[in-house]
Amino acid sequence: MTGLAPEARHFVAKWLTQEPEMEPVLGFLPAAERELASFWGALQNELFEAMVEPRDSGVTQVKLAWWGEALTRGAAQGAAHPLVRALFMQPAAAHVPVANWSILVHATLRLAGQEASPPDLASALRLRNDYAAALAQIEAALFESSFALETTRAIAAGLLLRSLRRALRGARGRDAFLPLHLFARHGLRAAEFDARHADAAGRALIADFATSLAAEAADIHAGATLRRCRTALDRALLRTIITRPEPDSALLSRWTALWTAWRAARARYLRG
């Protein structure tokens, strides 16, 4: 990360602390894409945290409105936030229509306003669809890659996996993501559930959720290398969680992350 804009390094490091398996991915990208990918990944991390971390919905809305202003100003070359400024200094940022940033901001606010637990996985994915589609559209423009519905669905599934990883690490917040039908199936109460200290029934619920999510997180064979690698790593994480639904399964071993990312990145060149 030594070549990154100094003021933005903190946010990239923070992102890679949350998703350490993405560090080798950056090394597999073309040199011209590495800074862009670092800032884009860090921005997604900041938006996700702003959505799920505050306990108070009012605080969440204020934080996201602030990010929205930063992004719309960034599109006008006036961003105050160092991460947004660094992202918009990338030549590829000019490829994104200004309206797409506004669409992302509104989708973020809508998703953050959903506080009720979803009844089932289909509902949980549907709630995240607009936000995922907004990310996919911007990503396609930034990396000059194709946009596909499978990318949107993979991003939506990935958001649910991020929420599950947070829960396994013991993080608290406003993020109600586990479907209610799973609590009913396993005889548990959503309000009392603690993924980090789950009993046998709780671990069965986690494995059940990961199994259902894995069926939705299909491999992506088009689009940006960054996204294809992220989706391949998501699938590897889900396989680990299914086998061992415990806190330490929220992290891939370095070797597994390296191998999975290399294969996903290599597929781009094999397909020409």
Check if the beta carbon of residue 164 is closer than 8 Å to that of residue 241.
yes
pLDDT, position 61? 83
Residue-number span of the structural domain to which 82 is assigned = 6-270
Least reliable range by pLDDT among 22-36, 57-71, 257-271:
257-271
Structure tokens at 102: 């506004």
What is the predicted pLDDT for the residue at 54?
A: 63
Average confidence (pLDDT) over 126-131 = 96
Per-residue pLDDT at 69: 82
What's the angle, vertex CA 10, arms to CA 8 and CA 80, rounded to 5? 40
* Count of structural domains, the chain: 1
* CATH number of the CATH domain containing 53: 1.10.600.10
For the segment 190-248, what is each residue's pLDDT rounded down to a tens digit? 988 999 999 999 999 999 999 999 988 766 666 788 998 999 999 999 999 999 999 98
- Residue 139 in domain: yes
Q: Is residue 67 part of a domain?
A: yes
In a domain, 1, yes or no: no
Token duo for residue 178: 């586990």
Per-residue pLDDT of 59-69, as tens digits, reads: 888 888 888 88
- Which residue, chain included where needed, has tokens 């609590």? 183
Q: Within a domain: residue 56?
A: yes
Model confidence at 270: pLDDT above 50: no
**Distance from C-alpha of 189 to C-alpha of 175, rounded to nearest angstrom:** 16
